[in-house]
Every structure is written in structure tokens, then in C-alpha cells.
């Protein structure tokens, strides 16, 4: 029989030191929570005057959210969507990809995300009260872009946002014109029921956009309004692109809300034919609160001096 050899003291001390150095790393890794997978699907049925009945997969989005040590977090949001034309197959498009650091009242967000401009556009799509954005928001508000944003909260009273973006829109791989899109936003809440905000964006050397917003909530009633305009240097102010909307929502019972929205958007430099005037009335039914939601809306929309077009929209949304 061979005698049992004692371990080399030097080698043993090296092994213990190595495992001791690795343990904190392992413990730190074990403390990172698993990412949360979520998303939502929207199915829409539309009956439009002169067009007829049509069904559409309006949105199908999937997200991954997670937190990291030292107050870091991340989020990735993708969407399956049709590309250009009804005959093209659906593709996967990146919507958000962010890294966020929020050590306290101050936070920094970097990546691709919604620019801090319009209140309606900043709302998460699953909680949007109507099937579509108001025309002025969809046309004039800067949307997803790549950049960096800092924000600072003065308690519950006010928040300040300042971001610098490429100005090329989502999924652009380069800043082609070498200019940036700076956006500043101020949100003030003098009392809990009232929120006021304003944003300004300089999207080129001769173009400036700004918005003024107000929202009031009290006992199941919410009223929100926005005015957005875009001025181009050298163009008369009466030819500025501009528009507004006012939305009112009333909660009838805990799972049913009624709403109405009036909106107007005009681009005088392109002629009266580009003016959009619309009225929306509808209801929000929370079949399973925060999970299954049904929107039923009637929209009367007029383009320029043409006859109005009436549309009925039914949209079911499932969140997971």
C-alpha cells in the first residue's frame, strides 16, 4: 500500500485563496434577479366608410426587463410588424434597448427609447386610452431615437429631462448629417390632481418644435390636452405646422370608462388639404384588469374640405 501523502501546504493555501477570491463574484451573480419577460398583442377590427371591414394584427411586442447591481437596469423591446406594403411578410423591429442608472433622484438613460416630448406619446402603448395617437402627436412629436438622457426629480413637485439624440429615428446606425436633436422637458405638479408640462426640441438648424400640456384627474375623471407646433426659420409664423387635442375620460364603473377626444392638425404650407379634424368617442372595458382590455371607438375624420369619413374600431389587447 502506498502511504497517503499530505497536501502541499503552499498549494493548499493557493487553492483556498483562489476560492476565497471567487466566492464574492459568485454571490454577486446569484443576487442578480432573473429578467422579466413580458409583452402584449393587439388585434383590431375596423369598419371604415368606403373601405369596408378589415382585420389587422395591430401590434405584437415582446420585452425583457431586468435590474443589475449598483442601481443599473436594462430593457429590450421588439415588435413584429409588416414592412412596406401589405404583401410583405412580418419582420422583427427593435423598439427599445436601454441601459439606465438611477442612484436616487437623478437618473441617466442611454440607448434607443422614446424621446421626452409629448405626454401622449410617452404613455406606454398598453395604457393608451384610444386606438391611435392624435394626428398632431403622430405627425410632429419626435419618436424613438438613439441617444442619452438625464433626468432629475424635485420630489413629487417637478421633474426635468434633458436629452441629446441622433435625430435619425429608430434603428439608424449612424448620424448622417452630424447634427444632434436636443430635447428639454419640464413637468410640474403643483397639486396631486394637476400636471403641467412643456417640451422643446431643436431638430435642425432652422427648425424648432415645442409643446404645452395639461392634465387634470379627480374622482374618476381625467382631462388631458396638448398643443404642439413646429416653426421653420424663414417661414411666416402663420404657416407653422400646429395642432391640438383634448381628451376626456370618465370612469363609469371600476372596469368601464367612457371617453371623447376632439383634435385638429394643420400644415398651412402644404395647403388646406393637409388639415385633419377628428372627433373620437368610445369606451374602455377592462375585461381582466391589467391583462385583457377591449377598446370600442367611433371616429369621424375630415381631411381638408372633403366629406368626413366615419370609422368604427374594435381592439382587443392581451398583456402577459
pLDDT tens digits for range 33-85: 899 999 999 999 999 988 889 998 899 999 999 999 999 999 999 998 655 45
Instruction: Give yes or no for residue 203 having a pLDDT over 70.
Output: yes
Task: Assess whether pLDDT exceeds 60 at residue 101.
Answer: yes
Q: Which residue has the higher pLDDT, 206 or 303?
A: 303
* Predicted pLDDT of residue 298: 98
Report the pLDDT averaged over residues 16-25.
Answer: 43
Residue with the larger pLDDT of the pair 87 and 248: 248
Please give the Cα distance from 252 to 255 (Å, whole number): 8
Residue percentage of the chain with pLDDT more than 70: 88
The average confidence (pLDDT) of the chain is 88
- Exposure string of 116-154, with b = 16+ CB inside 10 Å and e = fewer, is bbbbbbbeebbeebbbbbbbbbbbbbbebbbbebebebe
pLDDT in tens, 253-307: 999 999 999 999 999 888 777 799 999 999 999 999 999 999 999 999 999 888 8
Which tens digits make up the pLDDT trace of 172-194?
A: 888 877 789 999 999 999 999 99
Does the structure show a pLDDT above 50 at 1?
A: no
Residues 315, 292 contacting (CB under 8 angstroms): no
Checking if the pLDDT of 123 tops 90, the result is: yes
Cell numbers that stand for 58 in this block: 395591430
CA-angle at 251, arms to 219 and 62, nearest 5°: 115
pLDDT for 15 equals 43
pLDDT at 264: 97
Least confident stretch, 7-16, 27-36, 114-123, 139-148: 7-16
- In this prediction, residue 87 has a pLDDT band, given cuts at 50, 70 and 90, of low
The answer to whether 261 touches 130, Cβ cutoff 8 Å, is yes
Phi and psi, residue 183, nearest 5°:
-135, 130
**Alpha carbon of 50 to those of 5, 47, 207, 309, 315: distances in Å?**
93, 9, 38, 8, 20
- Extract long-range pairs of 225-233: CB within 8 Å, 24+ residues apart: 226/118, 226/119, 226/120, 226/134, 226/136, 226/137, 228/118, 228/136, 228/137, 228/140, 228/141, 229/140, 230/140, 231/207, 232/206, 232/207, 233/205, 233/206, 233/207
Sole residue written with cell 373601405: 51
Burial of 243: CB neighbours in 10 Å, binned 0-12, 13-18, 19+: buried
pLDDT at residue 173 in the model? 81
Residue 28: what pLDDT? 46
pLDDT, mean of residues 15-27: 43
- Does residue 251 have a pLDDT over 60? yes
Amino acid at each position: 500500500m502506498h502511504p497517503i501523502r499530505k497536501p502541499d501546504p503552499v498549494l493548499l493555501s493557493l487553492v483556498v485563496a483562489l476560492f476565497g477570491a471567487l466566492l464574492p463574484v459568485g454571490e454577486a451573480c446569484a443576487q442578480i434577479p432573473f429578467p422579466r419577460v413580458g409583452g402584449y398583442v393587439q388585434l383590431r377590427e375596423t369598419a371604415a366608410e368606403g373601405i369596408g371591414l378589415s382585420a389587422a394584427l395591430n401590434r405584437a411586442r415582446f420585452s425583457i426587463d431586468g435590474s443589475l447591481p449598483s442601481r443599473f437596469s436594462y430593457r429590450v423591446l421588439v415588435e413584429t410588424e409588416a414592412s412596406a406594403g401589405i404583401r410583405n411578410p412580418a419582420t422583427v423591429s427593435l423598439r427599445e434597448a436601454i441601459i439606465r442608472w438611477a442612484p436616487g433622484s437623478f437618473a441617466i438613460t442611454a440607448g434607443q427609447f422614446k424621446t421626452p416630448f409629448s405626454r401622449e406619446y410617452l404613455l406606454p402603448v398598453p395604457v393608451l386610452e384610444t386606438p391611435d395617437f392624435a394626428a398632431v402627436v403622430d405627425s410632429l412629436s419626435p419618436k424613438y431615437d438613439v441617444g442619452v438622457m438625464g433626468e432629475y426629480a424635485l420630489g413629487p413637485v417637478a421633474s426635468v429631462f434633458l436629452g441629446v439624440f441622433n435625430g435619425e429615428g429608430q434603428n439608424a446606425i449612424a448620424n448622417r448629417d452630424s447634427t444632434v436633436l436636443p430635447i428639454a422637458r419640464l413637468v410640474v405638479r403643483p397639486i396631486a390632481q394637476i400636471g403641467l408640462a412643456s417640451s422643446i426640441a431643436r431638430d435642425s438648424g432652422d427648425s424648432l418644435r415645442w409643446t404645452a400640456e395639461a392634465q387634470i384627474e379627480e374622482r374618476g375623471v381625467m382631462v388631458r390636452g396638448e398643443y404642439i407646433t413646429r416653426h421653420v426659420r424663414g417661414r411666416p409664423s402663420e404657416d407653422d405646422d400646429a395642432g391640438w387635442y383634448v381628451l376626456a375620460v370618465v370612469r363609469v364603473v371600476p372596469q368601464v370608462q367612457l371617453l371623447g377626444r376632439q383634435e385638429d392638425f394643420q400644415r398651412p404650407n402644404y395647403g388646406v388639404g393637409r388639415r385633419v379634424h377628428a372627433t373620437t368617442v368610445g369606451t374602455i372595458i377592462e375585461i381582466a384588469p391589467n391583462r385583457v382590455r377591449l377598446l370600442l371607438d367611433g371616429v369621424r375624420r375630415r381631411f381638408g374640405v372633403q366629406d368626413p369619413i366615419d370609422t368604427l374600431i374594435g381592439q382587443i389587447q392581451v398583456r402577459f
